[in-house]
């Protein structure tokens, strides 16, 4: 027994010395591979779920082009017809080399609008998603790998209601100049106060008091994107500077549909009750509840029952017309 313990100890010493002998970057990659295998073996990821998710994604052929500094966006959307064309146009204007966006069985015209845009814009690639469940992190992770294979050096996992900005210049100009491998993005929640047909001309009520973190990251074949795009597992250093304006609620009718579809998708995926609890609460709203909640949001008030935080200060502005993050753009 004592001999066996010595052998185990010697093996650990050999592995430790071998790891420390590697260059820092390579050692980080080796640790990441080990963490990936561990996560699949005993963690929250499943080979079976990954395979099932991929089987429901009808992917277009994306030609591989290797050019330095390419920035790509990836997203999964559902019933965002009123805002997603503006989001895609914004990212294309930011100089992105490609966008891979999966439409998750939309029935409000989102899919048709995206396909129409893709017919005229070769940088936009639409994936048809026929799965029933949510499985957001698995889908975004898979789309990120598609983008990496197509030549992406940087990836922005965005939602269909988010407008991303760099602190200076465009995203395609700023990101390739960064030395970090993961860049945190500060989320600014916003509520529309006007109804122009061009969404990017609307006046928004920005809550500058703070929001949650999202991330953009240097492309990696074994990157794992966390739920909600709030983090990513990949080796390397971290930095900050990005900003995304999040406009999740855009009217009482939209609020009702968003919560009901979201709660159903969580149920279809067998998501535990503690995750996405606000979707399930909002799914019980009636029209009067939705009108009340929408009024509170437009007045800059918090709605704790659906986890809508209003910290302030609130600023009415038209930030979506700007080239880079400019919270003081005149309304």
Kindly report, residue by residue over 82-106, the tens digit of the pLDDT.
999 999 999 999 999 999 999 998 9
C-beta separation of 106 from 114 below 8 A: no
CA separation, residue 29 to residues 92, 109, 256 (Å)? 32, 43, 45
Q: Please state, in angstroms and rounded to a whole number, the distance separating the CA atoms of residues 76 and 45.
A: 19
pLDDT in tens, 277-297: 999 999 999 999 999 999 999
C-beta separation of 216 from 231 below 8 A: no
| pTM across the whole model | 0.84
Residue 22 pLDDT: 46
Mean of pLDDT values over 16-44: 56
Secondary structure (3-state) at 285: coil
Instruction: Evaluate the CA torsion angle 104, 244, 217, 124 in order and state its sign.
Output: positive
Q: Please state, in angstroms and rounded to a whole number, the distance separating the CA atoms of residues 54 and 302.
A: 38
Beta bridge partners of 76: 102
Residue 14 pLDDT: 46
């Amino acid at each position: 027994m004592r001999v066996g313990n010595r052998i185990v100890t010697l093996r650990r010493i050999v592995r430790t010395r071998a790891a420390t002998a590697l260059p820092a970057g390579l050692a980080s990659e080796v640790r990441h591979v080990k963490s990936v295998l561990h996560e699949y073996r005993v963690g929250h990821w499943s080979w079976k779920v990954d395979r099932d998710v991929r089987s429901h994604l009808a992917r277009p052929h994306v030609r591989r082009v290797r050019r330095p500094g390419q920035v790509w966006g990836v997203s999964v959307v559902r019933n965002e017809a009123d805002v997603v064309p503006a989001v895609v146009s914004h990212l294309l204007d930011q100089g992105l080399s490609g966008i891979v966006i999966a439409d998750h069985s939309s029935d409000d015209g989102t899919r048709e609008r995206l396909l129409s845009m893709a017919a005229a814009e070769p940088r936009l690639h639409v994936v048809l998603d026929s799965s029933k469940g949510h499985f957001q992190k698995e889908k975004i992770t898979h789309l990120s790998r598609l983008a990496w294979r197509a030549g992406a050096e940087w990836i922005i996992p965005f939602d269909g209601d988010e407008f991303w900005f760099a602190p200076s210049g465009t995203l395609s100009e700023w990101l390739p100049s960064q030395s970090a491998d993961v860049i945190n993005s500060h989320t600014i929640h916003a509520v529309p106060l006007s109804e122009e047909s061009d969404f990017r001309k609307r006046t928004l009520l920005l809550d500058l008091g703070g929001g949650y973190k999202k991330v953009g990251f240097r492309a990696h074949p074994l990157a794992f994107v966390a739920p909600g795009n709030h983090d990513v597992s990949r080796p390397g250093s971290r930095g900050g500077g990005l900003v995304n304006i999040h406009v999740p609620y855009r009217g009482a009718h939209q609020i009702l549909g968003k919560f009901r579809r979201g709660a159903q998708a969580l149920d279809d995926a067998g998501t535990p009750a503690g995750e996405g609890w606000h979707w399930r609460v909002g799914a019980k709203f009636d029209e009067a509840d939705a009108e009340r909640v929408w009024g509170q949001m437009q007045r800059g008030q918090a709605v704790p029952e659906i986890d809508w935080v209003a910290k302030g200060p609130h600023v009415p502005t038209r930030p979506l017309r700007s080239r880079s993050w400019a919270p003081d753009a005149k309304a």
